[in-house]
A = this chain, B = another copy of it.
Amino acid sequence: MARVNENYLKLPGSYLFSEIGRRVRDFSAQNPEAEIIRLGIGDVTLPIAPAIIEAMHKAVDEMGEKETFRGYAPDLGYDFLRNAIAENDYKSRGCDISADEIFVSDGAKCDCSNIQEIFSADSRIAVCDPVYPVYVDSNVMAGRCGEYDPEKQLWSNVIYMPCTAGNGFSPEFPKENPDLIYLCFPNNPTGATITRSRLQEWVDYANKTGAIILYDAAYEAYISQPDIPHSIYECDGARSCAIEFRSFSKNAGFTGVRLGFTVIPKELEADGVKVHPLWARRHGTKYNGAPYIIQRAGEAVYSEEGKKQLREQVSYYMNNAKCIYEGLRAAGYTVSGGENAPYIWLKTPDNMTSWEFFDYLLKRVNIVGTPGSGFGPSGEGYFRLTAFGTYENTVKAIERIKNMD
């Protein structure tokens, strides 16, 4: 008799953004006249840049002609894209990463959630708290997280690293020894960053303890200050302890286009076993490559025109971030993030819980944000707003919040 993976049944409620979607739909159904502004989910609003559109049209045409049609892509990605990534994201920053250490995929969410499966079932994971829910949930599904305490909102077998106002939203080394450490900088949800010297300490810590750092750098395009690393491979020794995830969703607006990649240095080992061939094997067995058309879109991200157009897009969103940050401060809120990240992290007023503030904001001024508690217990009492809306809506939203009694 077939039986289900019982770990799935341990997952509490639905995925955070599904729950937000449900509440917004319900509110909207009851208040059809409400003009809702969504600054919740990290979804972009600017259309795809012209250089990328042009590249996609060209690739579509190629797929329609016998001479240029492409069937199955190479398992790990086309060389034209892997080379462009290695050159532009790594070599140009002095990072020693080669094209064959880059695994092209359909997005960082897939990679972040799938990576755990190449590691031992009894691996202990450490995560920041608050944290992007996918890291924990994917490990729950694999049975690594123990039991859930709904009161504390904690899993018994996960090592949590609180990121609070007290430590500047930067995690301290855990007291227990984790096997896998998830780090995300610029951070989702807090918008906090890490300095190069602090990240170097993490790399040294991982090399000393034999842990592997799973480094999510999906938001690196938003870094504006010079001492903040764009890649973990800017640190000495990262090649022997770190895997890096990158996305095209936020720097190029590919949330509906779908493209990302993972970097695994060839010498990276887990207890003496090379990790690179395992991930290659997973790709070969469970994946068939990102669409050719989309990989050409990715290539155009690195063209001169593409780079120029995308710098403008990032500036546009960062201007929104500034508008939110300064507007909320002026309105008396305690805010952080938003300077090197598209996320603004604010303290809820009047000791409201995160979900209370979510409902309050939705009902009072028809603005959708993300409850901090959805990212973990240390997110309780916080709220995330994103800079990915239109400028007009962002300004309007902040005006509405300012004018709430």
Contact = CB atoms under 8 A, between A and B. Distances in A.
Interface of A: 1-6, 8-9, 11, 14-15, 17-18, 41, 43-48, 50, 53, 56-57, 60-61, 63-66, 68-73, 75, 106-107, 109-110, 113-114, 117-121, 123, 133-134, 137-138, 141, 143, 177, 179-180, 209-212, 253, 255-258, 270-271, 273, 275, 278, 281-282, 284-294
Contacts of A291: 106, 256-258, 291, 294
7 A-B pairs with least C-beta separation: A1-B210, A53-B64, A43-B71, A113-B286, A2-B270, A47-B69, A3-B120
Given A271-B1, A286-B110, A53 B60 contact: yes
Nearest to A50: B64
Contacts of A3: 119-120, 123, 179, 270-271, 273
6 contacts: A4-B273, A4-B278, A15-B285, A45-B69, A69-B256, A106-B288
A66 B53 CA distance: 13
Nearest to A9: B273
B109 A286 contact: yes
A209 B2 CA distance: 9
A17 B285 CA distance: 10
- Residue in A56, A66, A114, A177 whose Cβ sees the most chain B Cβ within 10 Å: A56
Nearest to A67: B47
B275 A4 contact: yes
Contacts of A117: 5, 141
Nearest to A279: B8
A230 B259 CA distance: 33
Contact of A72 (B66, B256, B271): B256
A48 B53 CA distance: 19
Given A43-B71, A47-B69, A113-B286, 16 more contacts: A1-B210, A2-B270, A3-B123, A3-B271, A4-B270, A5-B278, A45-B66, A56-B60, A57-B57, A63-B257, A114-B286, A121-B143, A141-B282, A256-B289, A258-B289, A293-B294
A266 to B, nearest CB: 15
| Residue of A15, A45, A50, A133 with most partner-chain B CB within 10 A | A15
B5 A286 contact: no
A2 B180 contact: yes
Given A118-B5, A212-B2, A257-B293, A281 B60 contact: no
A246 to B, nearest CB: 15
Contacts of A57: 57, 60
B287 A110 contact: yes
A285 B255 CA distance: 15
A72 B123 CA distance: 32
A127 to B, nearest CB: 15
B278 A8 contact: yes
Contacts of A123: 2-3
Contacts of A66: 45-47
Nearest to A136: B285
Nearest to A74: B21
A56 B293 contact: yes
Contacts of A138: 285-286
A50 B8 CA distance: 43
B53 A63 contact: yes
A217 to B, nearest CB: 17
Contacts of A44: 71
A257 B2 CA distance: 34
Contacts of A180: 2
Contacts of A133: 285
A60 B293 CA distance: 10
Contacts of A179: 1-3
